Chains A and B, each alone.
Chain A
């Protein structure tokens, strides 16, 4: 906990921010722990919402109001609602929850502890000591053994909106456009998975008429699903021996 305090003192200047940081940090960590320990799946999801809100608060202490609001709007307001929507729609009972057996649980705890320890180790020295130029009292140029990393963030009135927009449409145009493809793929995938009836066959006379037609497909599991076909024809599929 002293680590957190140190980090707080280093990153935040005045007491209000430090207090806020403490509140949100404890809230975030506590809710994150609750997510993985609570037995009730809806409670867990709600704790995740709380976690997102706490992280939004942390963004706020970093003077990134835009990011903070977007975090609430997108994660808290849309994604988690859909999460809960699915949980409630499926009516997941607590009995259905995955019971991790002892060995897996032990492995997970060890793995998590190792990662947490490594990250603590990696951050506690460099970024909280006087040698880091993140520390305000350290002479930045001379003793700066560790870089204090961050975007070249321009302080602007728009809470970072202009900055984000600028980099999105100049430096990162290509990944931005690629992410449009990502969304397209995701949409197509969702339609494929969710659609009860697929794009109906064009050769309607062949397939639609008989709902229970036995397809000649070799895979028994595929039978009884003629809707899945785009068309009934088969170009060169007449079985002909190769030799």
Chain B
């Protein structure tokens, strides 16, 4: 069956418009919500509740003078923001935002392309996104941006491993890499009737790892070490202005939306939700509603995190990634594989046993995270042994960890806990 050309075109246009709109709304929502959390009003002049503020800001960015400092590597300096935006756009291509829609006799899903290795595509694009911040930092030819770039590359590579492992357990559980298969596998109800079969429940540890990892991958507070305006001025984007700075902003906020969409798709059933007996042609559109609702929930989580948490210290960020998330995800991948094997060999466990096991595993994970010496204790010990230089002995430490800022390992202003 030959699909007419307008169908893929429509898919592309709809999806990209959808994500752009969501991104614009996110920016506005973030400013409003954070303002509320800080007892301010936030933007409220342009449009109802200031909802058009983003648009106005965009126009301002576009027409602002775009300064290119003299010492930069011009080619890479210009390419870097484009890489970020392109990778951000490409990564959402495999995420279905709704169910099947019938229009003019053509039935299609609201997704650009349902690749058979879809989830890996998202991860791959995420990994290419690193180049944006990384190259921006290097091309600026200036110390703070370089630090930001180096930080972001190490951070991304580290958290990619944990995220990849978390996703691996989804693959194992589904038996497919295709996004639509993963969504379909979650569509039924889980081991208890009435509770949706979303993977967030049976694969709870993987879900947790993924959610923590996605904050780091998006470079958002409390893991926005690449920008860290308190330490690095603006991090990788210090030397940028005007349109190109706008592109970085766009890429960052888009990655928030993308990551939320991915976590919804992988762990919360994507567009699945009650359709209230609507006809098939409309049911797909109801899926869009559910998808948007779930995604908005995670976007809200991102905003709350930004408003509520102080920035992490870099070595603790690394400790969290390598000593907590990766082991947990690795062990959980093995457990998932064992569960699937049991299912195949012996028909698996009863529903109650499964639920008990899953929640027990979640509790154990939480307990581990709560009581583990890392990252805080390990970081503190690192202070005594490695980072803090002995007086008069510069060789004893100090330059040990280039990524930690010199001499201000404890960000005093931000460590204040309520």
A82 touching B157, Cβ below 8 Å: yes
CB-CB under 8 A for A84 and B157, given A77-B124, A77-B128, A161-B117? no
B126 to A, closest residue via Cβ: A77
B153 touching A65, Cβ below 8 Å: no
Q: Does B44 contact A (CB under 8 A)?
A: no
Q: Tell me the bound Cα distance from A32 to B154 in angstroms.
A: 26
B177 touching A66, Cβ below 8 Å: yes
The 8 A CB mask of A42-84 against B (1 = contact, 0 = none) is 1100100100000000000000011001101100111001101
B160 touching A85, Cβ below 8 Å: no
Task: Tell me how far the C-beta of A228 lies from the nearest C-beta in chain B, rounded to whole angstroms.
Answer: 16
Q: Does A89 contact B (CB under 8 A)?
A: yes
B117 touching A77, Cβ below 8 Å: no
Q: Does A158 contact B (CB under 8 A)?
A: yes
Q: Does A114 contact B (CB under 8 A)?
A: no
B127 touching A76, Cβ below 8 Å: yes
Please tell me which one of the listed residues A49, A66, A81, A196 contacts residue B117 in the complex, with CB atoms under 8 A apart: A66
A40 to B, closest residue via Cβ: B73
Q: Does A88 contact B (CB under 8 A)?
A: yes
Q: Does B332 contact A (CB under 8 A)?
A: no
Q: Tell me the bound Cα distance from A46 to B178 in angstroms.
A: 30
Q: Does A221 contact B (CB under 8 A)?
A: no
Task: Tell me how far the C-beta of B313 lies from the nearest C-beta in chain A, rounded to whole angstroms.
Answer: 19
Q: Does B156 contact A (CB under 8 A)?
A: yes
Q: Does B138 contact A (CB under 8 A)?
A: yes
Q: Does B131 contact A (CB under 8 A)?
A: yes
Q: Tell me the bound Cα distance from A46 to B139 in angstroms.
A: 12
A49 touching B131, Cβ below 8 Å: yes
B116 touching A78, Cβ below 8 Å: no
CB-CB under 8 A for A196 and B400, given A70-B120, A161-B177? yes
Which range contains the number of B residues in contact with the other chain?
Answer: 20 to 34
B154 to A, closest residue via Cβ: A85
B153 touching A84, Cβ below 8 Å: yes
Q: How many A-B pairs with Cβ below 8 Å?
A: 82
A70 to B, closest residue via Cβ: B120
Q: Does B121 contact A (CB under 8 A)?
A: yes
Most chain A beta carbons < 10 A, residue from B124, B126, B177, B178: B124
Task: Tell me how far the C-beta of A46 lies from the nearest C-beta in chain B, rounded to whole angstroms.
Answer: 7
Main SS class of interface, A: helix
A89 touching B150, Cβ below 8 Å: yes
Task: Tell me how far the C-beta of A224 lies from the nearest C-beta in chain B, rounded to whole angstroms.
Answer: 11
Please tell me which one of the listed residues B123, B146, B154 contacts residue A73 in the complex, with CB atoms under 8 A apart: B123
Residues of chain B from 126 to 146 with CB closer than 8 A to chain A in the complex: 126-128, 130-131, 134-135, 137-138, 146
Q: Tell me the bound Cα distance from A117 to B61 in angstroms.
A: 54
A77 touching B138, Cβ below 8 Å: no
Q: Does A159 contact B (CB under 8 A)?
A: yes
Please tell me which one of the listed residues A70, A72, A81, A88 contacts residue B130 in the complex, with CB atoms under 8 A apart: A81
Q: Does B115 contact A (CB under 8 A)?
A: yes
B131 touching A81, Cβ below 8 Å: yes
B117 touching A88, Cβ below 8 Å: no
Count of chain A residues near B, Cβ 8 A: 25
A53 to B, closest residue via Cβ: B128
B393 to A, closest residue via Cβ: A211
A65 touching B115, Cβ below 8 Å: yes
Q: Tell me the bound Cα distance from A159 to B119 in angstroms.
A: 13
Q: Tell me the bound Cα distance from A62 to B284 in angstroms.
A: 34
Q: Does A157 contact B (CB under 8 A)?
A: yes
Q: Does B176 contact A (CB under 8 A)?
A: yes
Task: Tell me how far the C-beta of B19 lies from the nearest C-beta in chain A, rounded to whole angstroms.
Answer: 21
Which chain A residues lie closer than 8 Å to B231 at the CB level?
Answer: none
Residues of chain B from 309 to 353 with CB closer than 8 A to chain A in the complex: none
Which chain B residues lie closer than 8 Å to A72 at the CB level?
Answer: 124, 127-128
Which chain B residues lie closer than 8 Å to A66 at the CB level?
Answer: 116-117, 120, 177
A68 to B, closest residue via Cβ: B117
Q: Tell me the bound Cα distance from A196 to B402 in angstroms.
A: 13
A77 touching B127, Cβ below 8 Å: yes
Which chain B residues lie closer than 8 Å to A88 at the CB level?
Answer: 134, 137-138, 146, 149-150
Which chain A residues lie closer than 8 Å to B14 at the CB level?
Answer: none
Please tell me which one of the listed residues B130, B146, B176 contacts residue A77 in the complex, with CB atoms under 8 A apart: B130
Q: Does B380 contact A (CB under 8 A)?
A: no
B127 touching A78, Cβ below 8 Å: yes
Q: Does B386 contact A (CB under 8 A)?
A: yes
Q: Tell me the bound Cα distance from A78 to B117 in angstroms.
A: 18
Which chain B residues lie closer than 8 Å to A43 at the CB level?
Answer: 76
B127 touching A158, Cβ below 8 Å: no
Which chain B residues lie closer than 8 Å to A65 at the CB level?
Answer: 115-117
Residues of chain A from 168 to 210 with CB closer than 8 A to chain B in the complex: 196-197
Q: Tell me the bound Cα distance from A62 to B402 in angstroms.
A: 43
Which chain A residues lie closer than 8 Å to B120 at the CB level?
Answer: 66, 69-70, 73
B157 touching A81, Cβ below 8 Å: yes
Residues of chain A from 117 to 153 with CB closer than 8 A to chain B in the complex: none
Q: Tell me the bound Cα distance from A72 to B121 in angstroms.
A: 9
CB-CB under 8 A for A42 and B124, given A65-B115, A81-B131, A158-B116? no
Please tell me which one of the listed residues A49, A70, A78, A196 contacts residue B160 in the complex, with CB atoms under 8 A apart: A78
Residue ranges of B at the interface with A (Cβ–Cβ < 8 Å): 73, 76, 115-117, 120-121, 123-124, 126-128, 130-131, 134-135, 137-138, 146, 149-150, 153-154, 156-157, 160, 164, 176-178, 385-386, 400, 402
The contact sample of 18 A-B pairs, CB cut-off 8 A, is A42-B138, A46-B76, A49-B131, A66-B116, A66-B117, A72-B127, A72-B128, A73-B120, A73-B164, A77-B127, A78-B157, A78-B160, A81-B131, A85-B154, A157-B178, A158-B176, A158-B177, A161-B117
Q: Which 8 A-B pairs have the closest CB atoms?
A: A77-B127, A72-B124, A69-B120, A73-B124, A159-B116, A85-B153, A69-B117, A65-B117
